[in-house]
Amino acid sequence: MFNFSEIPCIDNHCHPYLFEVDPQHYAPLESFVGFKDGSPESNAHRDHMLYNRWAIRELAKFLGVDPTAEAVAKARAAVGDEGAYVTRLFADEGIKGLVIDTGYPQPPVDMVEFRKRVPTTLFPVFRIEPLIKALLDERVAEFATFISRYDSAIRRALREEGFIAVKSIIAYRTGLEIKMEHESDAAGATGLAAALAKPTEMMASKPLRDHLLLRALRICREENVSFHVHTGIGDADIVLARCNPALLNETLKQPGYRDTKVVLIHCYPYVEEASWMAAALPNVWIDLSEGVPFALVATDRIFEKGLDLAPINRIFFGTDAFAAPEHTWLGAKLAKQSLARVLQSFHERGFIEGSEGYEIAEKILIGNARDMYLAG
């Protein structure tokens, strides 16, 4: 049986978090789904999720306490130095770095404080939607001014502010079916006027958002960085019918865009479609976060489907950690165990050699992230 517990990893997609350790409420037990108002009903909803029950048991082992939410939360509240605790937690699973989407939460987390509490290598990702919102809220009506401020803010983030990639959550706004007819400046200018005329109607901003996403893709190509795009499930705000990554296929195969490195974030439950895109297009990578770890029992299926067609150098491990470092720790533990089962099965079926198992796991857990974010 393969054992990948010693392979280090980089979390390809997560968010910064600051929280007070509260013995009554333990952040790592939150999933991205559910209702987080702290009421007995919402807590009961959470406590019936399999992810939650499994997370309690795993964390109880790490903290050396009884497997109850209360005991785990109490032990966590007593750990003392947060930075030292996170260092120990991350060392336990060989977590070497976090690719971190600073666009959530809003308002942004204080990254100086975050770095103190989570002492690891960070790869920050710049999200375009807060920038678009700021420009729209300011009612910048002249298209040339809007675009000049938009482009330069992205380039500044990449060149001067330490961001290593650009991200969009257009799936949460107007969907992934980007219309190429919105590419021209004339279409962008019309789109800006429409968005400003109907600020409360999200779909009125679709031409503008399509235009701005295409601009960002071109900037990423010129700056030689990757573009991350949310696909698949999210919280209840997602435009569910418009988040299938296959909707991006038309755009990503266009001559002006097929040289931009695009990372499809999450993909679940559309992992098969995403795996096909990573195989069919020269510029597509897939990230399997969020399904791992929160769709706990789907993890083996997610890795299996990811490996359907996608080349092994196009797949990232990630977690979508959004509330606490334990999300990444739980995701890493789960991913290593799951990859061992999945690749063992491939080996037994004669699909891979024994030596390939380690190679594949190493690429998914860390090698592909190193190649993407540290090379060149």
- The whole-angstrom separation of Cα 260 and Cα 252 is 8
Instruction: Please report how close the Cβ of residue 328 comes to Zn ion at its closest, in angstroms.
Output: 12
CB neighbours of residue 42 within 10 Å: 13
Within positions 49 to 88, which residues make up the interface with Zn ion, using CB under 5 A?
none
With contacts defined by CB under 5 A, name the span among 169-177, 213-221, 253-261, 316-324 that binds Zn ion. 316-324
Answer whether 275's CB lies under 8 Å from 253's CB.
no
Instruction: Please report how close the Cβ of residue 125 comes to Zn ion at its closest, in angstroms.
Output: 10
With contacts defined by CB under 5 A, name the span among 137-145, 201-209, 314-322, 368-376 that binds Zn ion. 314-322
- The whole-angstrom separation of Cα 14 and Cα 19 is 16
- The whole-angstrom separation of Cα 56 and Cα 68 is 6
CB neighbours of residue 310 within 10 Å: 24
**Spatial strand order in the sheet of 9-14:** 9-14, 95-101, 121-127, 165-168, 226-231, 262-266, 284-287, 315-316
* Residue showing the smallest CB distance to Zn ion in the complex: 320
Q: How far apart are the first and last CA of the chain?
A: 36
With contacts defined by CB under 5 A, name the span among 37-45, 117-125, 245-253, 315-323 that binds Zn ion. 315-323
Answer whether 170's CB lies under 8 Å from 215's CB.
no
Instruction: Please report how close the Cβ of residue 101 comes to Zn ion at its closest, in angstroms.
Output: 5
Nearer to Zn ion, 320 or 362 (CB): 320
With contacts defined by CB under 5 A, name the span among 82-90, 236-244, 277-285, 319-327 that binds Zn ion. 319-327
Instruction: Please report how close the Cβ of residue 90 comes to Zn ion at its closest, in angstroms.
Output: 19
Nearer to Zn ion, 178 or 321 (CB): 321
- The whole-angstrom separation of Cα 231 and Cα 249 is 12
DSSP assigned state of 22: B
Report the alpha-carbon angle 189-191-193, nearest 5.
75
Over the window 291 to 310, marking each residue x when it contacts Zn ion by CB under 5 A and - when it does not, the resulting string is --------------------
Q: Is position 183 an interface residue for Zn ion (rule: CB under 5 A)? A: no
Nearer to Zn ion, 177 or 320 (CB): 320
- The whole-angstrom separation of Cα 370 and Cα 283 is 17
Closest Cα partner for 29 from 235, 233, 327? 327
Closest Cα partner for 346 from 360, 365, 366? 360
Nearer to Zn ion, 265 or 366 (CB): 265
Nearer to Zn ion, 13 or 209 (CB): 13
Omega before residue 40 within 30° of 0, cis: no
Total residues contacting Zn ion (rule CB under 5 A)?
1
Q: Is position 30 an interface residue for Zn ion (rule: CB under 5 A)? A: no
Nearer to Zn ion, 232 or 357 (CB): 232
With contacts defined by CB under 5 A, name the span among 36-44, 58-66, 182-190, 317-325 that binds Zn ion. 317-325
With contacts defined by CB under 5 A, name the span among 1-9, 239-247, 274-282, 320-328 that binds Zn ion. 320-328
Nearer to Zn ion, 183 or 320 (CB): 320
Instruction: Please report how close the Cβ of residue 15 comes to Zn ion at its closest, in angstroms.
Output: 6
Instruction: Please report how close the Cβ of residue 187 comes to Zn ion at its closest, in angstroms.
Output: 29
Instruction: Please report how close the Cβ of residue 109 comes to Zn ion at its closest, in angstroms.
Output: 13
DSSP H or E stretch at residue 338? helix 325-348
Nearer to Zn ion, 221 or 266 (CB): 266
Distances (CA, A) of 220 to 147, 165, 277: 15, 8, 19
Q: Is position 320 an interface residue for Zn ion (rule: CB under 5 A)? A: yes
Instruction: Please report how close the Cβ of residue 61 comes to Zn ion at its closest, in angstroms.
Output: 27
Instruction: Please report how close the Cβ of residue 13 comes to Zn ion at its closest, in angstroms.
Output: 6
Residues forming contacts to Zn ion in the complex (CB under 5 A) are 320
